[in-house]
Structure 1
Amino acid sequence: MPETKAAKIRTRVEALRAMIDNECTAPVCRESGSCRHEGEKEAARHMLGRLLDKLKGAATDEHEERAELWAEIYKRGYDSQGNTYRKGAKYRAGQPMKERISQIRTHIKIARRTAKSPLVPDGPGLASQALQTYRFDPIGEAPEQIKFRVRIGAGYGSVRISIDNIPEDWGWIAEEVADYQGEIVTRWKRTPALNDLVTELKAIGEAYNADHGSNLSTDSFMKAFYVFVKADDPETLALRSDGHRTRHS
């Protein structure tokens, strides 16, 4: 790696300080009792003062260059070694997980509340305009019976968002398929509407997240936390309900 401007200046500063601080050992100067090299030391002091000023400027330049480099890496999403970097729009370094969870909950509540409010004031010709300009919000437009839970995962390393009370006809498509034994079984597939909802919730969680250099090829995971969105299908809910009844029978 090439030596930086600041590193070169530091090398010269150390050499000048050694010249200024070291006692003169020249025989002529010792015999005469006065150093004939004092002028050189005085010149070194002046040069040292100039270099120290330059060092401050060089350090500032390096700091700015480094900041620009990392800003570019985070914007691009990866560095020259293939490590991934990303900062969510709402990410704040050192923010406690409880605060992140609280803000994610608030974000979801606002989306739900906004969907119940009129987009524009009532008036002639405004209703059709509102429909044309409205951007679909999967959270706000989800059925009212749906409930959301946001909690911290085990070890404070994840955010877990659960979607509860999903209407079966809204969220799931039943598919009859053959299992590994050839028997016909029902498999539940998410509808496009539920997929949109899961994607939106994941995006909200990731807005508070950051990746500081993960690399899948080396199993290096440097995310601030992980975001999981859970939507249990009817079969999973039925099995859980049967297990609950069995334990209490």
Structure 2
Amino acid sequence: MPKSKASKTRTRIDALRAMIDKECTAPTCQESGACRHEGEKDAARHMLARLLEKLKDAAEDERDERAKMWAEIYERGYDSHGNTYRRGAKYRAGQSMKERAAGIRADIKMARKAGQTPLVQEGPGLATQALETYRFDPIGEAPEQIKFRVRIGPGYGSIRIGIDNIPQEWGWIAEEVVEYRGEKYTRWRRTQALKDLEAELKSVGQAYNADHGSNLSTDLFMQAFFVFVESDDPERLARHAEYESKRRDRRT
């Protein structure tokens, strides 16, 4: 098999280094005390320097090409094999899960604070009319009683964003369902307002996330971490309250 260009270059570099490092054993040079082959070694040093500079330039060009290729893949969102790639706007390599969770908390807090500012502002040049700024932010405009919690999941592989104190009439729709045995039960469906809130919280978390080549068809998951948004419907809250009540009774 013929050698590649890179392989030939490496062979020449090895040969030049061997020539430069080889100690002269010629009798005439040893007798005179001055090596007459020093000029050859100088020429080898100059040639070696040129070859190493070419290798350095080639490596830099290759790095630039690879960086450009990966930038295009992340912008597109997938590669030629169907693997998905994505970087969130606030993703930083080497960032700890504690730092990511803290960033998500800060973003939610800022959104809540922004939601408290009035939509109508009056300026000095608008004496007879008000300037209305349209803004729709599910986090900022969610009911004031709602509380948010951000926790790192077991094994530090996920971040869980919880929504607590959801007003029942705001977040849930009761649907009476008859099961196959004829018994009735209540199924709780999310309102559109709650769905919008959950989607917005998910996007806040994903801004700190990255996907380095996941492929669902082969069950390959390469995300930096997973983001889960959790909210309990009224039935689940009632069961939890009943469980806590029984546990308190057992303790007493």
Q: Does the alignment reach a TM-score above 0.5?
A: yes
**Unmatched runs of 5 consecutive residues or more in structure 1:** none
2: CA distance between counterparts of 1:5 and 1:192?
A: 62
Q: Tell me which moved more, 60-69 or 138-147.
A: 60-69
Match in the other structure for 2:102: 102
Partner SS, residue 117 of structure 2: coil
Q: Tell me which moved more, 34-43 or 225-234.
A: 34-43
Match in the other structure for 2:161: 161
Match in the other structure for 1:176: 176
1: CA distance between counterparts of 2:89 and 2:99?
A: 15
Asked if the contact 1:5/1:58 (under 8 Å) is kept, the reply is no
1: CA distance between counterparts of 2:139 and 2:11?
A: 60
Asked if the contact 1:159/1:228 (under 8 Å) is kept, the reply is yes
Matches within 5 A, 1:1-249: 9-18=9-18, 20-21=20-21, 43-119=43-119, 121-122=121-122, 123-124=126-127, 127=130, 129-130=131-132, 133-249=133-249
1:95-122 per-residue CA deviation (whole Å, 9 max, x = no partner) reads 1211211111111111111111124532
Q: CA deviation at 1:91?
A: 0.6
1:2-36 per-residue CA deviation (whole Å, 9 max, x = no partner) reads x99766643432343345556899xxxx7988999
Partner SS, residue 89 of structure 1: coil
Partner SS, residue 95 of structure 2: coil
**Unmatched runs of 5 consecutive residues or more in structure 2:** none
Partner SS, residue 213 of structure 1: strand
Partner SS, residue 138 of structure 1: coil
**Percent identical:** 68
Amino acid at match of 1:227: V
Amino acid at match of 1:74: Y
Q: Tell me which moved more, 11-20 or 35-44.
A: 35-44
1: CA distance between counterparts of 2:202 and 2:60?
A: 39
Q: How high is the TM-score relative to the length of structure 1? A: 0.84
RMSD: 2.8
Q: Tell me which moved more, 59-68 or 194-203.
A: 59-68
Structure with the higher fraction of residues in helix conformation: 1
Q: CA deviation at 1:191?
A: 0.6
2: CA distance between counterparts of 1:163 and 1:75?
A: 32
Asked if the contact 1:159/1:226 (under 8 Å) is kept, the reply is yes
Q: CA deviation at 1:169?
A: 0.8
* Number of residue pairs matched by the alignment: 240
1:180-232 per-residue CA deviation (whole Å, 9 max, x = no partner) reads 43322211111110000000000000001111222223322221111110011
2: CA distance between counterparts of 1:165 and 1:189?
A: 16
Q: How high is the TM-score relative to the length of structure 2? A: 0.83
Amino acid at match of 2:168: E
2: CA distance between counterparts of 1:19 and 1:242?
A: 86
Partner SS, residue 139 of structure 1: coil
